[in-house]
Amino acid sequence: MRIIDRFDKYMNAKDLNDNQVTVSCGLSVGLLGKARRGDSDLGKKAIDKILSFYQDLNRVWLLTGEGDMLNESTDVAATHNRIRYWVDVDATAGGVTLFDDQVTTKYIDIDIPEFRDCTDAVNLYGDSMLPLYKSGQIIILKEWMESFIDYGNVYLVITKKGNRMVKYLRKGSDAQHVLCVSENKEFDPFEIEKDDILRLYLVKGGISKNTL
């Protein structure tokens, strides 16, 4: 059994998909699929990233198949409290100005119990979400993995063109569009095409930098 086959077993046990693993571990897009097809190996760098994030995964088992899949001494709950604070990534609450694995690798792991289901945090700048979120806050995010949009919530929207913005998402004028709405009524709503959305993150809350 190959390393990728054992990791697939772990992914199945944890109900993980390729996109979740790729984003959480900062892997190259398509790397897992290439490894399954035999086009490339995972490589030491990718394996180290995987083991660093999924700390309950037994390194020896992953590499050799020996022993148990999970580390007995690992606090499994703690692995799900890790939030990656991307220190040099900004989200805009104004107009539209990429927050993904390819843009930066500079992040700090933070642990906030109140946001135990969240995955990422970024800096927010701009006034369009006042008074809900203020410029200079850190917003706490959970990647939206569903195939539908839960309208009425606040999202960090990343488009295929590299734009990112924090807005309420509501139904657009037709099935191909979504309406982006600001909290601050001085900012006009606008539509974007659904097909232009690369990734969505649900904004679960915000904290001020001076609280860290």
- Residue 32 pLDDT: 95
- Residue 111 pLDDT: 81
Among 18-27, 56-65, 164-173, whose mean pLDDT is lowest? 18-27
- Residue 103 pLDDT: 44
Among 96-100, 158-162, 178-182, whose mean pLDDT is lowest? 96-100
CA angle 29, 57, 65 (to 5 degrees): 95
Q: What is the average per-residue pLDDT within 110-116? A: 81
CA angle 188, 189, 195 (to 5 degrees): 145
- Residue 93 pLDDT: 59
- Residue 96 pLDDT: 40
Which residues are bridge partners to 84 per DSSP? 109, 120
Q: What is the average per-residue pLDDT within 99-121? A: 71
Per-residue pLDDT tens for 5-58? Answer: 999 999 999 889 999 899 888 888 899 999 999 988 899 989 999 998 888 899
**Is the confidence at residue 100, as pLDDT, over 70?**
no
Q: The tokens 């900062």 sit on which residue?
A: 26
Among 26-30, 138-142, 169-173, 183-187, whose mean pLDDT is lowest? 26-30
Report which DSSP code applies to 135.
T
Could you tell me the pLDDT band of residue 119, with boundaries at 50, 70 and 90? confident
Strands 82-92 and 120-125: parallel
Residue 109: CB atoms within 10 A of its CB come to: 11
Q: Are 104 and 84 in contact (CB under 8 A)?
A: no
Which is more confident, 40 or 79? 40
Could you tell me the pLDDT band of residue 73, with boundaries at 50, 70 and 90? low
The per-residue pLDDT of the chain, averaged, comes to 85
- Residue 89 pLDDT: 79
